[in-house]
Amino acid sequence: MSSMKKRIPMFLLALAMMVAMALPTFADSPSVYSSLGDSVSSVQNTYYQLNAATEGTPVAGTLLTMWHNTGSNTQRWDIVTCPGTAYYWFQNAANKSVVISYNGNTQARLAAKNTSTYGIQTQGIKSVTEGNTSEGFVKHGLVLPTYVLCLTASQCSDGSQAQWLASNGKSNQLWIYAKYY
């Protein structure tokens, strides 16, 4: 009987170690979403994604357009909290040093990520939840103090431009985030 009493604690210890090894380990990520970036699609047509319009690595000045899903990192975005604010940087997964920015023109472009207070004010984007789609996806407005990121084409297609315009309350200014791992 005493050898049985010794085996039970050893069995429980071995079982506890097996369970501990089987549990996943979670690490903090700078992105509020996935580590490989998220797609950002228009509510109007989720087949097309917000895209840094380049064949290579995006740089400051790269235009933002819509493009069908190619699986490229130029279509993936890390959504990172701007320090001390309720705003986010949308940094491109293919080049994390560039972010979606308002550059004084309506055409949306990327700019070099700037961590200074001035940079946060011009590059920080508020993500405003605007309810759900009929499929259950959360709709977001991407908002600057005066402008909203919108799709200007009535029909989405490869190369459709994304622009900063005044709010119009229509679906061309609503976006869906999808996680990619």
pLDDT band at 92 (very low <50, low <70, confident <90, very high): very high
For the cut 80, the answer to whether the pLDDT of residue 180 exceeds it is no
Provide the token pair at 112.
């070099």
Provide the token pair at 181.
């791992």
Position 122 scores a pLDDT of: 73
Question: Residues 117-142: what's their mean pLDDT?
Answer: 87
Q: Please, what's the b/e burial string for 56-75 (b: 16 or more CB within 10 A of its CB; e: otherwise)?
A: eebeeebbbbbbeeeeebbb
Instruction: Give the ranges where 23-175 is alpha helix by DSSP (H).
Output: 117-123
Question: Residues 11-25: what's their mean pLDDT?
Answer: 51
Residue 170 neighbours by CB under 8 Å, 6+ apart: none
CA distance 102 to 93: 19
Provide the token pair at 90.
């949308």
Helix (H) or strand (E) holding 155: none
Q: Provide the total of helices (H) and of strands (E) in the chain, helices listed first.
A: 2, 12
CA distance 153 to 151: 6
Residue 66 neighbours by CB under 8 Å, 6+ apart: 42, 48, 49, 50, 51, 151, 153, 156, 157, 158, 159, 160, 161, 162
Question: Residues 78-93: what's their mean pLDDT?
Answer: 90
Identity at 123, one-letter amino acid code: Q
What CATH number does the domain located at 38-179 have? 2.80.10.50
Q: What percentage of the chain exceeds 70 in pLDDT?
A: 78
Position 17 scores a pLDDT of: 57
CB-based contact 62:50 (threshold 8 Å): no
Position 23 scores a pLDDT of: 37
Domain boundaries, the chain: 38-179
Q: Return mean pLDDT, the chain.
A: 81
Q: What is the pLDDT of residues 41-78, one digit of tens each?
A: 988 888 899 999 998 999 999 999 999 988 899 999 99
pLDDT band at 110 (very low <50, low <70, confident <90, very high): very high
pTM exceeds cut of 0.95: no
Question: Residues 31-41: what's their mean pLDDT?
Answer: 64
